[in-house]
Amino acid sequence: MKENLPTQKINSSLATLNFDNAFVRELPADPESSNSLRQVHRACYSRVLPAQVSAPKLVAYASEVAELLDLEAAACESDAFAQIFVGNQLLPNMDPYACCYGGHQFGNWAGQLGDGRAINLGEIVNLQGERWALQLKGAGLTPYSRRGDGLAVLRSSVREFLCSEAMFHLGVPTTRALSLVLTGEQVTRDMFYDGHPKEEPGAVVCRVAPSFTRFGSFQIFSSRNEIDPLRQLLDYTIRTDFPHLGEPSVAVYLQWFEEICRSTAEMIVHWMRVGFVHGVMNTDNMSILGLTIDYGPYGWLEDYNPDWTPNTTDAAGGRYRFGNQPQIALWNLAQLANAIYPLIEQAEPLEAALQLYGDSYKQGWQEMMAQKLGLKEFVPATDLPLTADLEKVLQLVETDMTIFYRKLAELDPIDEQDDDSLLAPLLDAYYHPEKLSKVNKHQISDWLRTYLHRVSQDGLSTNERRQGMNAVNPKYVLRNYLAQLAIDKAEAGDHSLVNDLLQVLRQPYAEQPESVSFAEKRPEWARNRAGCSMLSCSS
């Protein structure tokens, strides 16, 4: 049994982390104690210890997340911190476990999945009374590891660490990341499952969220007709994560599902706003809190293409492509509705809640597009055709979505500009501006004239409109090639770019002139490079 780290060896703020661990205290546990691969029935979790590693080394930590946990900077930079958040040592009252859940993968029921490479250290309650679960990704085998080794590599860990924090600062609902720690071990991975495995540096990310409960957490019990633990988990979830709904009952179960429908719609609207593509929207990767969870083969929409998916596994079918994300979220919610049906036994209110998702998404999307375009409000009569035509315009030639919206804010509604003058402020958004034909220029300029006429009807000053647009259209996102550059350096022992990106991505809407190189569109060398345009579930 792994021993707790002696208190005298740890910084005071680490020693005072207040672990409450209600999840393991109140929910049914796996009765078997061995860490062996197996089917786990009628249990929400299995107790398991993280693996020991040889040489933990801190790569980076997020100071804002440390503050959420009441951790001081000195604690985060201590040797004890790296030992604890790689899994080598336990703090007093940590009670590690891996969760049992199932899920639909690419539309097919996969049965039991579970935390195959994630180990929860427990839940702390901070000085503000907030509950935060701490989870190590890549900390070793669990009963749910299936054919894997429970480990993670630096490549995927850099991407998860940076994207978690980038999304938070963009205003997207998300899980957080406290730390990224090298293990000192080598891990064998076949990145594209094509028979070319290689050794890569191992790493562990500490993920932080109020809860890591997923749609699949309920599906596994329902699929097995294990109704008592299904009810136990739902009652616990309502009392712990949704206490404002009141004591659990059938009526409260329905209110709970309605709230998940609304929060999921809000999350997807944000994804579409910033051009984020999750890449693997399986039901086991959907949070009941409406948080973006499990950063695997995600990507950022650089040139605007609604059919793009970053996941090579999904390349043929495109199930999880950018433009399909709203529909997939609805499909996943329907699977959650099926899972809780045995506790409700009424189809109509569940169907009404799913309709609520559609209505919430539609309203949220319209409000979001009005903000992106600098409009006071979305007026369907004029703005539905305006946005429909914009989608066509963005696909006429290869157009960088992030730069286009940012540059659109710079336009002034000056009368009678010719096509070239009107397009001049936007040229940086085009990957090959020299390929803009005269017809293309005229089509885009026609849309711009319609847009500027619509803007003028609102009566906002150019400065007011620009400030509003720049508050929702980021200048900086975690572009795929930037993440890969940071990975390349980190694998060579240089962690500076990981920390530089973390710093820049803390203020994605600010100009940050000293960091303008991080706002540049994808370079040509990254167009087809692995890690920049092609990703897999390998981590």
Provide the annotated active-site residues.
284
- Return the SS3 of 534: strand
Max Cα–Cα distance, the chain, nearest Å: 77
d(CA 472, CA 373): 10
- Return the SS3 of 69: coil
d(CA 1, CA 86): 17
Do β-strands 176-189 and 299-300 pair in parallel, antiparallel, or remain unpaired?
unpaired
Amino acid letter, residue 434: E
Sequence-ordered list of residues with C-beta below 8 angstroms from that of 383, at least 6 positions apart, any chain: 366, 369, 370, 373, 375, 454
380: its two tokens: 């369907």
d(CA 204, CA 202): 7
466: its two tokens: 């620009």
Strand partners for 533: none
Give CA torsion, residues 525, 527, 508, 72, to 10 deg.
-70
Nearest Cα to Cα of residue 112 among 98, 121, 100, 120: 100
Q: Where are the beta strands (DSSP E) in 190-334?
A: 198-209, 276-277, 299-300
Nearest Cα to Cα of residue 30 among 93, 96, 89: 96
Please tell me the total number of residues recorded for the chain in this structure: 539
d(CA 248, CA 234): 8
If one counts every other C-beta atom within 10 angstroms of the C-beta of residue 33, the result is 10
